[in-house]
Structure 1
Amino acid sequence: MTDRTSTLYAKLLGETATIEWKALERFWAKGDLIWVAPSLDLVEVAEAMAENRSDIFAKWRSDGTVAPLSAEQALDLQTRDPQIWAVVVSPFVIMQEKKVD
């Protein structure tokens, strides 16, 4: 990891916050909401997106661990209203359901 990458990771980490599904619905409706599987580091995914690292992003997409949020997932989130972590990498909002300990 380079200093520049470490700085970007720290910046994105500082911009990551919990958010309610209700606040994300409009981003989903526009197609700007990206879902990240719980097995991945949300900030690492955001960093890869910000740096246009298409190789790793393509791998995650093909693995099904990063994808646009589906209608089924949106309905599930609306029904359950779990805690969600999110970070903006314009024009997208990258989200991940917060793990409950």
Structure 2
Amino acid sequence: MDKQKKLDEVLHAKLNLETAQMKWSELERFFASGSLVTVSSQLDLVEVAVRFANDDKELVVQWLTQGQIAKVSDAQAQAWQAADEALWTVVVKPWILVQEQQRQVH
């Protein structure tokens, strides 16, 4: 196993442990400062965090272009505020990556 792959695995494990659910009311101040990035449910939140931490500009730009990651919009913030939505979060300074929880279908 090459060194970078091993480092990525360690970083992935670390970020996975730092991932937490937070209510929107706890995140609003970070939205106001422009530091929230929403991650599509099609992507693995922790893997996106690893790519941010590694400054993988090519992949981040690809996700931005495809609309799979984006700054949280005013409309999205209002919807989350109305429901005081709980979101998955992980910090990769200066960003806080957020992802909606998957709804269980019964």
TM-score range with shorter-chain normalisation? over 0.9
Shift of 1:80: 1.9
Question: Stretches of 4+ moved more than 6 A in 1?
Answer: none
Q: Aligned pair count?
A: 101
RMSD: 1.0
* TM-score of the pair, normalised by structure 2: 0.92
Match of 2:18 among 15, 22, 26: 15
What's the counterpart of residue 2 of structure 1? 5
SS of alignment partner, residue 46 of structure 2: helix
Amino acid at match of 1:19: M
- Give the CA deviation at 1:81: 2.2
Are 2:77 and 1:74 equivalent residues in the alignment? Answer: yes
Within the candidate set 48, 56, 62, 2:65 is matched to 62
**Structure 1 stretches of 5 or more lacking a match?**
none
Task: Report which of the two structures shows the higher radius of gyration computed on alpha carbons.
Answer: 2
Provide structure 2 residue ranges, at least 5 long, that are not aligned to the other structure: none
Q: State TM-score, norm by structure 1.
A: 0.96
Instruction: Tell me which residue corresponds to 1:41.
Output: 44
User: Partner amino acid for 1:26?
Assistant: R
* Whole-Å separation in 2 of the counterparts to 1:33 and 1:82: 14
Q: Secondary structure at the match of 1:27?
A: helix
